Structure 1
Amino acid sequence: MSHRPPVDPTTLTQPLQFAYWVPNVSGGLVVSKIEQRTDWSYDYNKRLARLAEDNGFDYALSQVRYIASYGAAYQHESTAFSLALLLATERLKVIAAIHPGLWHPGVLAKWIATADQISEGRAAINVVSGWFKDEFTKLGEPWLEHGERYRRSEEFIRYVRELWTSDHAELSGDFYRLHDFDLKPKPVITPDRPHPEIFMGGNSTDARGMGGRVADWYFANGNTPEGISEQIRDVSDVATVHGRAVKFGVNGFLIGRDTEREAHDVLREIVDKADREAVEGFGSAVKQAGQSTGDGKGMWQDSEFADLVQYNDGFRTGLIGTPEQIATRMLDYKRRGVSLFLLGFLHYLEDVEYFGREVLPIVRELEAAELERVG
């Protein structure tokens, strides 16, 4: 029997939430020459965001890339794009991915506070410690070693949260300092959050410790239910020591079709048509980043070629099959402590609509049956 982490009972009683990767960079969500009916333009993304919030999505995550890399030739900046999507929607929460080291935390805190006021409390951030060295060095910024990048990110989060919640913000760290600073206006306070939610991701020991100490949400790369259980247990142990609670999301690439064979045929075609040079270049870059950890334990360290075709290991989560199979798989993750799925798709408009029409109703039926069974 697999060891499962202790799960906060509220996780089981609350409905699963769903986010999608915003295609604000070119190339789609798989590094493959297969047709991907998606578009990185704002007009397309505005249409997609409205469709997503009408098909059960709670969040959207705008990616951050600054230069061409591994199939992403063009990129829209994440914070500006996120605000544009917030203005185009009514309920969707939009998470902007940001890099410490390329943002001053005080400027970022001010920017997000404004976006949060404009959107009536729907802005959030995903703090990305960084794996792509060229994004820093080609901008003339220093590239820190793995552990130092996470130490800087942790201070960045503490700084931003202090500004958002204190009238006389103070912080004295190794990377950042605050001296009696009062940011006004503050972000909106809503019943479900005291400030814009702070997401972060990773897999390394450094990432797990940081997540437990300072994050509101911990994003995990795609992984098996057992692999996710291990991460949830580690992060939760740290959070408990610090008197905190962290919520968990997992990345998954969803291929829903009316038969299991159709879904797996699509997956096979994606991998067969992979852009081998781009995938191998990406794999080399990210594995080097992970190997630089103190214990050699980082994201992508056990990823195979096929996993890397979806650059956040989305295939490994196993959301591939019929609506019933996908919904059942999602409930397995929920029982282990997952509250949110961050989803990518091959053909965004069609697949988001398919998810809302075919998959989500089954998820809700299974959740209701589970509540009735345990309640």
Structure 2
Amino acid sequence: MSTERVTDEVKFAYWVPNVSGGLVTSDIEQRTSWDYEYNKKLARTAEDNGFEYALSQVRYEASYGAEYQHESTSFSLALLLATERLKVIAAVHPGLWQPAVLAKLGATADHLSNGRFAVNVVSGWFKDEFTHLGEPWLEHDERYRRSGEFLQVLRKIWTEDDVDFRGDFYRIHDFTLKPKPLNSPERPNPELFQGGNSSAARVNGGRYADWYFSNGKDYDGVTEQILDLRRHAREAEREVKFGLNGFIIARDTEKEARDTLREIVDKANKPAVEGFRSAVQQAGNSTADKTGMWADSSFEDLVQYNDGFRTQLIGTPEQIAHRIVEYRRRGVDLILGGFLHFQEEIEYFGANVLPLVRELEAAESGDRELVGV
């Protein structure tokens, strides 16, 4: 089943490992590092291997296998200054940031990087990060209402003068930002991403964001979300793009890839995974319709803490390329990839998987032209 709009070429992003512990909560070897020198080299490798975006994740204190963390906005700027083409997305939490302050930082980062800075608005799943800092912990839908206001304030400050905003969470009075980001008709102000799976997240994505990030999903799960998301966008007379999380295990044979997945799960850090599960599953279960992130995740799903295994980008380059193109047919605009050994696996992906994706896309494009679609 396809949705109403199919992108010409799917884009690729990778999770920045700026948090210790890698992208799986497992005692398996992960040849990766959260330090800056490793990540600087990785960012350059990624942009040379067809990746257009990188997402700097954020945790503010130790939790569930992530003992150390670099802050996302400063780390993103450092990566932007070390690269030439890569767009870096910084994850931020409303409630811990004042949107006008972030707008000022974002405009500066936009100028310093020649327009490559972006923001992912994360409404928050980790209660302790708020309560330990003395900030109120809101109920699920209230957190997303606050994020909706946060997205609106950022957009207005980046595009308008003398901004007034009177919301339930943020009040802005006659505020003008100068300099503004490097806006142009071809490249609007810093791209805004909204993360989530819930109904409230989809409303925000459709009404206010440029991109919507989903946890890992199978084909049916992706189609259901995209149709709902684009309904909200149409109602607001907008268009929004869709990004899908997936943990990528590309190997020369399917057996090698499946054996790697089995080893990751067999060596899972069970106390850390169970602790994470108890912290996050309230996020989905606290929504009225039980559609939130992690609401139906199994133990195995949560070993990759954004359900990346569920996207099933696991196998040979040919198998993974075909699956990515199937997601593209359903309306996925971007794949956000996690890897076990980032440096060498991003190189392998760029050499062996991405060219196959482009070949399949080109063949489909030619077929559509022949039938006049």
**TM-score bracket for the superposition, by shorter chain length:** over 0.9
Q: Distance in 2 between matches of 1:325 and 1:23?
A: 26
Post-superposition CA distance 1:54-104 (Å, at most 9, x none)? 000000000010000110000000000000000000000000000000000
Corresponding residue number in structure 2 for 1:305: 299
1:218 matched to 2:181? The reply is no
Work out whether 1:122 is the aligned partner of 2:119: no
Superposed displacement of residue 5, structure 1: 5.5
Aligned equivalents of 1:326 and 1:8: distance in 2?
22
1:347 has 2:347 as partner: no
Match of 1:65 in 2: 59
Equivalent position amino acid for 1:17 in 2 = K
Aligned to 1:35: 29
Question: In 1, Cα distance between the equivalents of 2:282 and 2:231?
Answer: 28
**What SS is found at the alignment partner of 2:229?**
helix
CA distance in 1, matches of 2:300, 2:290: 21
CA distance in 2 between counterparts of 1:160 and 1:115 reads: 14
Q: Distance in 1 between matches of 2:198 and 2:89?
A: 22
Q: Which residue of 2 aligns with 1:8?
A: 5
**Which of the residues 128, 133, 136 maps onto 1:139?**
133
Larger mean CA deviation between 207-216 and 359-368 belongs to: 207-216
Tell me which of 279, 304, 322 is aligned to 1:328: 322
Change over 3 Å in CA distance of 1:203–1:216 after alignment to 2:
same
Q: Which ranges of structure 2 fall in alignment gaps of 5 or more residues?
A: none
1:7–1:335 CA contact under 8 A, matched in 2: no
**Count of equivalent residues:** 369
Instruction: Identify which of 140, 150, 153 aligns with 2:147.
Output: 153
- In the superposition, the TM-score normalised over structure 2's length comes to 0.98
How far has the Cα of 1:317 moved from its partner? Answer: 0.3
- Take 2:160 and 2:288, find their aligned partners in 1: how far apart are those partners? 35
Of the three residues 273, 287, 305, the one matched with 1:279 is 273
**Quick one: percent identity of the two aligned structures?**
69
- 1:90-145 alpha-carbon deviations (Å, 9 max, x no partner): 00000000000000000000001000000000000000000000000000110001
Tell whether 2:72 aligns with 1:78. Answer: yes
> Of residues 164, 170, 195 in structure 1, which corresponds to 2:158?
164
Partner in structure 2 of residue 263 of structure 1: 257
Q: Secondary structure at the match of 2:51?
A: coil
Query: Unaligned 5+ residue runs, structure 1?
Result: none
Q: Contact (CA 8 Å) 1:5, 1:233: kept in 2 or not?
A: no
In the superposition, the TM-score normalised over structure 1's length comes to 0.97
The RMSD of aligned alpha carbons is 0.9
Equivalent residue in structure 2 for 1:366, among 360, 363, 373: 360
Whichever residue aligns with residue 175 of structure 1, its letter is F
Instruction: Determine the structure 2 residue equivalent to 1:196.
Output: 190
* 1:235 alignment partner in structure 2: 229
Counterpart CA distance in 1 for 2:340 and 2:22 is 7
